[in-house]
Structure 1
Amino acid sequence: MEQFIEKLMYRSRWLLAPIYLGLSLSLIALG
């Protein structure tokens, strides 16, 4: 079960990384 969660976290990290990058860039641009 732990391995499954670790794999899920690892994959979701790659999926969410571009989204977080875009959000942080837009925050910097607005700020």
Structure 2
Amino acid sequence: MSIESGLLVGAVIVIALYVLAALVFPERFS
């Protein structure tokens, strides 16, 4: 796996976790 692929996968995971947190804890992101 190249460095670019690793960064892309990491970015996707971070975005997915942020969206999940926003759905689970909406009062923190309002």
What is the TM-score normalised by the length of structure 2? 0.57
By relative contact order (CA 8 Å, sep 6+), the higher-ranking structure is: 2
Runs of 4+ in 1 over 4 A off after TM superposition: none
Distance 1:14 1:26 in 2: 18
Unaligned regions of 5+ residues in structure 2, if any?
25-30
The reply on whether 1:28 has 2:30 as its aligned counterpart is: no
What is the TM-score normalised by the length of structure 1? 0.56
**Higher helix proportion, which one?**
1
